[in-house]
Structure 1
Amino acid sequence: MLAAERRDHLLELLAREGKIVAKDVAAELGISEDSVRRDLRDLAGEGLCQRVYGGALPVSPAVADYRSRRSVAPEGKLKVAAVAAGLVRPGGTVILDGGTTALAVVHALPQGLACTVITHSPTIAAALIDHPRVEIFLIGGRVFKHSAVACGAAAVEAAQNVSADLCLLGVTGVHPDAGLTTGDAEEAAMKRALSARAADTYVLASSEKIGTASRFRVLPWDGISGLITDADPHQPVIEQLTAQGVEILPAG
């Protein structure tokens, strides 16, 4: 099989099965695992898959820059945001992550809601100015422009000194095996620090993120209270997560 044919085969397999196991492909095609790994490395270099130990997973579309992500799955994000906003209780304290879905959560909050929002996103803090009864606590640090959030040691240290009832967390990848992932190591560390300071953590994930993976794990499945998604409940990945005991809050 020519290299171009192998490439097409791998992409077709990834689309159909949702993952590639290098040793299985090597046995199927009668080639070495090294050849499969080289092909996967080339595909990953083009942004067509996310390499993981032993193979590859679909790459998340949420690794695009912040401006571009505003136009990705806007309807799904609005549905997820509506459910997430309903979890914020009057008088409560919520840690709100950055990103486009979190911004949709701000717009979904009742205008008269009285609560405290802790965030490391200047974009989120600015959007909350229009909510007269929301007290805003902004965590500072080095700004990671991809998601318009503060990261780094100073931000993590500040996060360790807050407490909240609820954390609404964004990720770029949601996969039964890879867990909850994002594309930057410091951002992943910041998300863990924020989640650790809340009684409950719910992950915001519109359907395009389901079944995909990014480079850095944020949390394992037992580290969250539930997943809010507009994905079809009969989608294989959602069914697998449900079978694993993950609470799914449908936003269809």
Structure 2
Amino acid sequence: MLKEERQQIIMEKLRHEGKIVAVDLSAAINVSEDTIRRDLRDLADAGLIQRVHGGALLRSPAGASYKERQFMSSDAKMDIARAAVSLVQNRQVIILDGGTTTLEIARRLPIGLHATVVTNSPPIAVVLADYPDIQTVMVGGHILSPSLVTIGAATVEAFSNIHADLCMLGVCSLHPEMGVSTPDYEESLVKRIMVTNSAEVAALVTVDKLGTGAPYTVAPISDLTYIITEADTSDDMLQPYSAKGITIMKGKK
């Protein structure tokens, strides 16, 4: 079997099954584990998969710039935002993580909402400036350009002193076994403290990020309270998450 044929089989199995185990795949197509590992290395170098111990997951598509992502899956993000806003209540302390989906949430908050919103996203802070009864706390740090969020030791320290009722978490990758992960190490530390210091956590996930992995772990799947995803996401795709006791919410058209 040619290398291209093997790699096509690997990608097809990942899209269908969500994960591959190298030893099982080598037996299934009758090639050595070393050959499979070389194929996985090539696919990882091409940015198509995320290698994990013993196998691989699909790589998240979240590598585009913030400006580019504003125009990707825009209808799905609006649907997710409409569902997410239903969780918001007066007098809450809410963490709005950075991202284009959380930006849509900021735009759809009730105009009369009385709440404190803490964010590390300058675009979200600008939107919230138009809300007369929202106290906006903009957390400082240095800017991560691809995501337009603040990161670094100062950002982590600021969030460590905040205890939120609800965190709206932007998600780069979500997998039922690997949990929440992200491509940037420093951003993973910021997201981790957001999750740790929130009573409830809602993960905002477009369907293309479900079942994918990235290099840096944010939190295990058990730390999530809700997963909010697109209206048309199949129940089969969501079953591994609901089986772990997470409340699944689908976007509102």
Question: TM-score, normalising length from structure 2?
Answer: 0.94
Seq. identity, %: 43
1:111 and 2:130 are equivalent in the alignment? no
Match of 1:87 in 2: 87
After the TM superposition, list the runs of 4 or more consecutive aligned residues in structure 1 that deviate by more than 3 angstroms. 231-235
1:205 and 2:202 are equivalent in the alignment? no
Separation (CA, whole Å) in 2 of partners of 1:63 and 1:214: 10
Match of 2:166 in 1: 166
Residues 34 and 231 from structure 1, CA distance in 2 versus in 1: closer, same or farther, beyond 3 angstroms?
farther
Count of paired positions: 252
Separation (CA, whole Å) in 1 of partners of 2:163 and 2:239: 33
Moved more, 127-136 or 229-238: 229-238
Moved more, 226-235 or 178-187: 226-235
Summarize deviations over 1:9-38 as a string: whole Å, max 9, x none: 212222222222111111122222121111
Summarize deviations over 1:216-251 as a string: whole Å, max 9, x none: 111112212111112546442301211222211222
Separation (CA, whole Å) in 1 of partners of 2:62 and 2:231: 16
Match of 1:52 in 2: 52
Summarize deviations over 1:130-159 as a string: whole Å, max 9, x none: 222211101101211121111111110111
Contact conserved, 2:19 with 2:56, CA < 8 A, in 1? yes
Q: What is the one-letter code of the residue matched to 1:222?
A: S
Separation (CA, whole Å) in 1 of partners of 2:246 and 2:164: 22
Match of 2:228 in 1: 228
What does 1:177-196 align with in structure 2 at a 5 Å threshold? 177-196=177-196
Separation (CA, whole Å) in 1 of partners of 2:232 and 2:53: 28
Q: Secondary structure at the match of 1:167?
A: strand
Contact conserved, 1:174 with 1:210, CA < 8 A, in 2? yes
Moved more, 58-67 or 136-145: 58-67
Q: What is the one-letter code of the residue matched to 2:163?
A: S
What does 1:3-152 align with in structure 2 at a 5 Å threshold? 3-152=3-152
Q: Secondary structure at the match of 1:192?
A: helix
Separation (CA, whole Å) in 2 of partners of 1:22 and 1:237: 23
Q: Secondary structure at the match of 1:168?
A: strand
Question: TM-score, normalising length from structure 1?
Answer: 0.95
Q: What is the one-letter code of the residue matched to 1:90?
A: N
Separation (CA, whole Å) in 1 of partners of 2:22 and 2:125: 45
Contact conserved, 1:69 with 1:100, CA < 8 A, in 2? yes
Contact conserved, 1:207 with 1:231, CA < 8 A, in 2? no
Q: What is the one-letter code of the residue matched to 1:250?
A: K
Residues 232 and 238 from structure 1, CA distance in 2 versus in 1: closer, same or farther, beyond 3 angstroms?
farther
Q: Secondary structure at the match of 1:200?
A: strand
Q: Secondary structure at the match of 1:14?
A: helix
Q: Secondary structure at the match of 1:28?
A: helix
Contact conserved, 1:58 with 1:212, CA < 8 A, in 2? yes
Separation (CA, whole Å) in 2 of partners of 1:76 and 1:25: 34
Separation (CA, whole Å) in 2 of partners of 1:134 and 1:74: 25
Q: Secondary structure at the match of 1:63?
A: coil
Gaps of 5+ in 1: none
